[in-house]
A and B are shown apart, each in its own frame.
Chain A
Amino acid sequence: MKYEAAVQTLLTVGMVVLSAGALACLVRAIIGPTRADRLIAANMTGTQVICLICITAARTGEHAFTDVALIFAMFSFLASAVFVRIVTERRKDR
């Protein structure tokens, strides 16, 4: 029982740190001067949210949350690839 309580405390600390980090990355995405800065900061937010979802899955014991994290990873990559493609195509049109 004591082991379970220690693990819960450790996972809670991880969740708090990762939430603060995701918020800081969003701030960076808002103040970033160029489009590349915003895209990099949004990618970092995605990575930290994936870690957060996996820690939530371990903390609640619901392992189905890891599927959510996998889909989140796929969509995060797809979104940044599409963003880069749109910016590059728009530049070619000029």
Chain B
Amino acid sequence: MTVAEGIRLAIGGILMLGGLFIFVSSIIGNFRFPDAATRMHSAALGDTLGILLVFAGLAVLCFSMEFLLKLGIILLMMWVAGPACSHLVSGMIAGEKPEKKEEKRKK
């Protein structure tokens, strides 16, 4: 292993392990948070930052132009779709709460 390969391995490994740490903390948050809205916060963390760090680590470790472009397209897709999906789910949560209150009032 040359010096350049060692530096590349260190940078890629730090990015990759950081992404895995983000994913693990997002799962721990998903198990320990009390509410659906707070769980959505921890899920969005893994959806955006975790996938960015893992893909950056992959791009550094196994570099080729084709692979990098495809990873960029997937990352763009996830960054557009993830927050839009969170917005839809938050609308669903906001619609659920008054219904429950009405049921309680009827009782």
- Asked if chains A and B come from one complex, the reply is yes
Residues in A lying within 8 Å of B, measured CB to CB = 2-3, 6-7, 10-11, 13-14, 17-18, 21, 24-25, 28, 34-37, 39-41, 43-44, 47-48, 50-51, 54-55, 57-58, 63, 66-67, 69-70, 73-74, 76-77, 80-81, 84, 87-88, 91
A3, B1: Cβ atoms under 8 Å? Answer: yes
* The residue from B23, B26, B67 contacting A66, defined by CB atoms under 8 A apart: B67
The answer to whether A84 and B88 touch (CB under 8 A), given A58-B62, A91-B95, is yes
Query: Which A residue's beta carbon lies closest to that of B41?
Result: A40
Q: Could you say which residues of chain A place their CB within 8 Å of the CB of B55?
A: 51, 54
* The residue from A37, A47, A67, A81 contacting B78, defined by CB atoms under 8 A apart: A47
* Main DSSP-derived SS at the B contact region: helix
A70, B64: Cβ atoms under 8 Å? Answer: no
A7, B51: Cβ atoms under 8 Å? Answer: no
A36, B96: Cβ atoms under 8 Å? Answer: yes
* Main DSSP-derived SS at the A contact region: helix
A17 and B27 CA atoms in complex are apart in Å by 11
Query: Which A residue's beta carbon lies closest to that of B23?
Result: A21
A and B contact pairs by CB, cutoff 8 A, 15 listed: A10-B12, A10-B13, A21-B23, A28-B27, A40-B39, A43-B47, A43-B89, A47-B46, A50-B78, A54-B55, A63-B67, A63-B70, A73-B78, A73-B81, A84-B91
Interface residues of B in 69-86 (CB under 8 A from A): 70-71, 73-74, 77-78, 81-82, 84-85
A80, B58: Cβ atoms under 8 Å? Answer: no
A84, B89: Cβ atoms under 8 Å? Answer: yes
Q: Could you say which residues of chain A place their CB within 8 Å of the CB of B50?
A: 47, 51
